[in-house]
C-alpha cells in the first residue's frame, strides 16, 4: 500500500469509527455493527472498531434481554450491567445513553426508587444533569420520610449547581435527622468532611457549625433513633437556642442555655466559648 493510500485510509477509518460510536450513542446497534464491520473489512484488527463491534453486539443482546421484564427488574438489570462494564475512552456518550434509557424506564414506572439503593436522582447524577437529579430527590423526599443518605444526595445535587449555602443546610439536616446513615466520603463538600472527620458522626452538625462550615438550622427531631441520637439532638438544639438568645440580646436566656450546654457536653461548650 503506498503512503498516500495509507493516509487516506487512516483518515477514513477515524471518521467511520467516530460514526460507529455515534450510532452506539443513539442505541442504533444495527447501524453501528455495519459501520464497524466495514472498517474491519479494510483494516483487519483495528482496535477501536473491534471494541465498538463487541460493544454493539453485547449491548444489543443485553437490551433484548430486558424486553418484557417488569420495569423495576429491567432497570436493575440495566444498571448492574452499566456499572460493571468497561466502556473505554470512546464509550462515554454510549454509557450516558444507556443510563438515560434506565431513567426513561424508572420515570415510566414512576418508581423514583428501587429497593437496591437505585434512585432516579442517582441516575441523573451519573449523567451530570444536576437540576433533574435535584427534582427527583425532592419528589422522593416528598413521598417518603427523609433519611440521611437521600438528604446527602440532594445536598450534592445543590453543591454541584454551585448552591453552596443550600447544600450545607441540607447536609446539616442529614446529620441531624439520621447521622448514622451519613457516610462522610459521599459528601461533595470536602471542607465539611475535613472539619468533622475526627468527630463522632452524631455531633458532626454541631462541630460543623463550631468550625464555621455549617449553618445553624431549625430541625427538630421528634423521635430519636437511640440514646446517642437523643443526646446529640439535645446538644444541637441547646447550642442553637444559646445563639438565638445571644443574637436577640436575651442575656438571661443566653446564660441559661450556655449552662445547659456545659452540663450536656463540656467539650462542645469549651469550643463554643472559644469560637465567640
Overall pTM surpassing 0.75 (yes/no)? yes
Check residue 221 and give its pLDDT: 82
Q: Are 203 and 235 in contact (CB under 8 A)?
A: yes
Check residue 239 and give its pLDDT: 97
Residue range 170-195, pLDDT digits in tens: 999 999 999 999 999 999 999 999 99
Element (H, E) at 8: helix 3-25
Q: Are 185 and 193 in contact (CB under 8 A)?
A: yes
Q: Work out the mean pLDDT of the chain and round it to a whole number.
A: 88
The domain ranges of the chain are: 9-67
Check residue 30 and give its pLDDT: 94
Residue range 254-265, pLDDT digits in tens: 999 999 999 999
Whole-number percent of the chain with pLDDT over 90: 62
**CA separation for the pair 203, 225 (Å, rounded):** 14
Check residue 114 and give its pLDDT: 55
Amino acid at each position: 500500500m503506498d503512503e498516500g493510500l495509507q493516509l487516506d485510509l487512516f483518515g477514513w477509518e477515524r471518521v467511520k469509527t467516530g460514526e460507529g460510536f455515534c450510532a452506539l450513542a443513539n442505541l442504533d446497534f444495527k447501524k453501528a455493527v455495519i459501520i464497524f464491520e466495514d472498517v474491519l473489512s479494510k483494516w483487519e484488527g483495528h482496535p477501536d472498531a473491534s471494541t465498538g463491534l463487541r460493544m454493539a453486539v453485547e449491548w444489543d443482546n443485553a437490551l433484548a434481554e430486558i424486553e418484557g421484564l417488569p420495569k423495576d427488574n429491567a432497570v436493575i438489570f440495566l444498571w448492574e450491567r452499566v456499572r460493571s462494564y468497561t466502556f473505554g475512552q470512546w464509550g462515554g456518550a454510549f454509557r450516558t445513553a444507556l443510563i438515560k434509557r434506565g431513567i426513561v424506564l424508572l420515570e415510566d414506572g414512576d418508581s423514583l426508587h428501587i429497593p437496591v439503593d437505585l434512585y432516579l436522582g442517582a441516575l441523573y447524577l451519573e449523567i451530570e444533569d444536576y437540576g433533574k437529579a435535584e427534582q427527583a430527590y425532592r419528589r422522593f423526599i416528598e413521598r417518603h420520610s427523609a433519611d440521611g443518605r437521600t438528604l446527602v444526595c440532594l445536598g450534592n445535587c445543590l453543591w454541584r449547581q454551585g448552591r453552596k449555602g443550600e447544600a450545607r443546610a441540607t447536609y446539616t439536616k442529614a446529620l441531624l435527622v439520621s447521622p448514622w446513615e451519613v457516610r462522610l466520603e459521599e459528601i461533595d463538600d470536602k471542607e465539611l468532611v475535613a472539619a468533622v472527620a475526627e468527630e463522632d458522626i452524631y455531633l458532626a452538625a454541631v462541630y460543623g457549625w463550631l468550625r464555621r462550615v455549617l449553618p445553624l438550622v431549625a430541625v427538630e427531631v421528634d423521635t430519636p433513633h437511640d440514646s446517642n441520637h437523643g443526646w446529640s439532638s439535645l446538644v444541637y438544639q441547646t447550642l442553637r437556642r444559646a445563639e438565638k438568645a445571644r443574637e436577640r440580646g436575651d442575656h438571661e436566656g443566653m446564660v441559661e442555655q450556655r449552662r445547659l450546654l456545659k452540663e450536656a457536653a463540656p467539650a462542645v461548650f469549651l469550643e463554643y466559648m472559644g469560637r465567640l
